[in-house]
């Protein structure tokens, strides 16, 4: 079966996962994490991609970002992928591939899933039992979004900015989102949509994506439409 073309649409957030080949480690030392984040910031600026959330695990990466052009996310991932492989191979005296084929991605319906995906990403170290509190993991956007440590890589999404009038209010309300656990059904939905590169969203959102992309958004239609105010271009 021929693989479906990747869904790349401007101004719609994407959840991206890139794993090490055969689940091998992609980060060993602190400098590895620093190099990746530095280049992620560099290429995000070059291709005008807004990064809202991230976590660097020992053998994979999660990103929540919004490209402003159709191919922005792809160019970003290709560029950082190639750069980091060269860095990694030179640093550790190895050759060959590092990443597991194509990165996985899903378009995210901000009305219903933006904060679920952001929490999903930043709770990865907790689910992996590496830490008991996301605040204890330093290679994550939780440091910026929930604690207030400035990470220049991060562009705060308009929905995040609406959490409060001041920085302290936004931090407080964002942390409150983590009080309740993400349901198993939502976890499975995020994971499946990303791994199979379908669309994560309501039926209305999926129909919208299908109409403008010409590609199926899901294997089977799902019901349920819930509206919330859209972000205006001036908010981003």
What does the pLDDT look like over 131-149, one tens digit per residue?
999 999 999 999 999 999 9
Q: Which of 209, 235, 236 is nearest to 221 (CA)?
A: 209
Mean pLDDT lowest among 81-85, 102-106, 203-207, 223-227: 223-227
User: Pseudo-torsion of CA 39, 42, 48, 49, nearest 10°?
Assistant: 30
Place of tokens 């129909």: 207
What percent of the chain has a predicted confidence (pLDDT) above 90? 85
Asked if residue 232 has pLDDT above 90, the reply is no
Separation CA 197–CA 53 (nearest Å): 19
Q: Which of 120, 125, 173 is nearest to 145 (CA)?
A: 173
The distance in angstroms from the start CA to the end CA of the chain is 39
CA 81: distance to chain centroid?
15
pLDDT tens sequence across 91-124: 999 999 999 988 999 999 999 999 999 999 999 9
Structure-token pair, residue 90: 């030179």
CA 119: distance to chain centroid?
10
Asked if residue 220 has pLDDT above 70, the reply is no
* Domains in the chain, CATH or no CATH each: 14-214 (3.30.70.1290)
Asked if residue 158 has pLDDT above 50, the reply is yes
Structure-token pair, residue 26: 């992609």
Asked if residue 79 has pLDDT above 60, the reply is yes
Say what the pTM is: 0.91
Separation CA 119–CA 52 (nearest Å): 11
Separation CA 101–CA 77 (nearest Å): 12
Q: At a CB cut-off of 8 Å and minimum separation 6, what does 26 contact?
A: 20, 32, 58, 59, 60, 61, 84, 88, 98, 99
């Amino acid at each position: 079966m021929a693989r479906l073309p990747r869904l790349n649409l401007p101004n719609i957030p994407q959840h991206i996962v890139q794993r090490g080949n055969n689940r091998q480690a992609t980060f060993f030392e602190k400098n590895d994490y620093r190099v990746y984040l530095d280049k992620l910031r560099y290429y995000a600026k070059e291709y005008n991609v807004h990064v809202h959330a991230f976590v660097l695990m020992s053998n994979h990466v999660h990103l929540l970002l919004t490209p402003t052009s159709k191919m922005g996310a792809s160019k970003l991932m290709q560029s950082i992928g190639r750069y980091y492989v060269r860095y990694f191979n030179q640093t550790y005296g190895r050759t060959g591939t590092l990443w597991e084929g194509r990165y996985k991605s899903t378009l995210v319906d901000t009305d219903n899933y933006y904060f679920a995906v952001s929490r999903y990403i930043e709770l990865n170290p907790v689910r992996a039992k590496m830490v008991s509190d996301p605040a204890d993991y330093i290679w994550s956007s939780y440091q910026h979004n929930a604690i207030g440590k400035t990470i220049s890589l991060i562009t705060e999404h308009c929905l995040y900015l609406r959490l409060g009038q001041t920085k302290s209010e936004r931090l407080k309300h964002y942390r409150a989102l983590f009080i309740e656990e993400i349901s198993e059904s939502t976890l499975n939905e995020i994971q499946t949509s990303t791994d199979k590169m379908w669309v994560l969203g309501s039926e209305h959102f999926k129909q919208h994506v299908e109409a403008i992309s010409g590609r199926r958004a899901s294997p089977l239609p799902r019901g349920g439409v819930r509206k919330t105010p859209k972000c205006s271009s001036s908010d981003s």
